[in-house]
Structure 1
Amino acid sequence: MKEHQAWHANGFLATLAAIAAAAAAIWCFVSGNADDGSAGMNVLGVVLLLLALVAFSSLTVVQPNQAKIITFFGRYKGTVSDSGLWIVVPFTVKSRMSLKVRNFNSQKLKVNDASGNPVEIAAVVVFKVMDTARAAFDVDDYETFVEIQSETAIRHIAAQYPYDTYEDSSVISLRGNADEISGRLLAELQERLSVAGVEVLETRLSHLAYAAEIAGAMLQRQQAEAIVAARQKIVDGAVGMVESALQQLKHHGIVLDDERRAAMINNLMVAIVSERGTTPVINTGTLYN
């Protein structure tokens, strides 16, 4: 099934013609009764009245961003998408369909990611109908079809990627590559919804989190990784400061032997890396009896 334009003509002219036919029919009835019941005038009046009723029943109004699907005794005759008052083929069924942009916000779905961790995920899908014939006849209810296929695509995408990557930053993850995940979700969803004549305009992840049963453990893991990264930064800075201190002592002509050099490095590293303030121990000399 593919959409095509149905025959339609100016409805205002058809309305004027129908009004004129109805007025002529009334005149024929009045004239026929005045002429002692002339059968010819009455028959003409009935014909004109039937033509007026057929014309009025063929009129249809199409609102902006709306379409009328025309079917004639079970056969698809076309779609009228131009807004205005139109006259179409008589004795047809004119079904209304919206062409406005709409969005669907999925429920929070619990899915196992590529690493096997249960995560909660949800997405917003922005779409519109592009082919009214497919939306009306190729699927039972295109809105329900969009909802079910959207949730299926979200589950499929979420199961292909891990929630986050901790060792390899080049691996695509749900949290770290949200834009790329949204793009792949859009491509897969468009492939699924093309049969319903629906165009997907945008997809965005609206919710992403670990499931409640592992959220605490994953939070501890993230905190541990943050602590390790901070410690690594502190150690790198401490090594640089100790190296700078030794170079300055050498520049000023202060030469330390290996034992004192090692003790100084140890004391500086402890003072810099320690989480708490250090308490120095002052050597005042050796007491001899």
Structure 2
Amino acid sequence: MNNLLIVLSLWWLLLAPPQALAEPAPLSIPGEITVPFRGVDHSALRGFAQDRITHITFHHEGFAGTDSDLFRRASAARDRQTIDQRVRNIHAYHAGDAGLGMFAYHYAVDKAGNIAKGRPVSLKPSTRSTAIGSRNLADFAGHFAVVALGDFNHESLTPAGRLAYVRVMSEAQRAYRVPTAQIQPHKHHAATSCPGTHILKEAGALREMVRHYSLQAELVGRGCLKDTPDGKWGPKSRRALRAFSKANRGVVAQPEVSDVALFGMLDAPGAACR
């Protein structure tokens, strides 16, 4: 009888329809621009489904290499385009010649601070970079990717572009509970110079700005901080975190800038300043 039950159970499992792959919750950022993508190569996207986000990677467009004259000429033409035009142009290359299926990143930001939505977060990013120490393409399963439009071997982030970059990463950090240590430049995971020398110089500072912005956004949403989040931790932010901790004993045991404080707040969505 027991053997019969085992056989029937195995038979049922073989006939049962396969469960659909779970997907990360879609992300939506207030003010984002939705770009219509045409000519998506769905066959190239097979095998790129991902069921969760564990890392955040930041990239740059990087169109000029080490050629400063090419950068001047190409950036002048790009600066005349809107962010949706630039993303569509990159998408055409990624879907066509690069064989990446569609625009490779989940979000893009420009130097004016505009934010454009890219590929769905249910698809992992796809780049042509190889794994460190290997000829195989790097695998970005579990990654959320944002690209800064421009070539940051030749230019630096503008204040507006930096804030948009940080804001997108903060939204992803809070939506998917990504530890700050797992917010890294593309170069950290692949044999590449991306996101360019100038962004790499401030990679650590950017990571801390994301955590600061995340904490500030939570404090603003809970009525503890009156300022607009900017990723710069100062006296007002410190006082707001202390006030939150005092009003919600046990949620944030130590009112210090840390992932423990951030995730404690995220685990208590109803906690607020009174």
Greater RCO, 1 or 2 (C-alpha within 8 Å, sep 6+): 2
Which structure has the highest strand share of the two?
A: 1
Please give the TM-score of this superposition, normalised by the length of structure 2.
0.20
Is the helix fraction higher in 1 or 2? 1
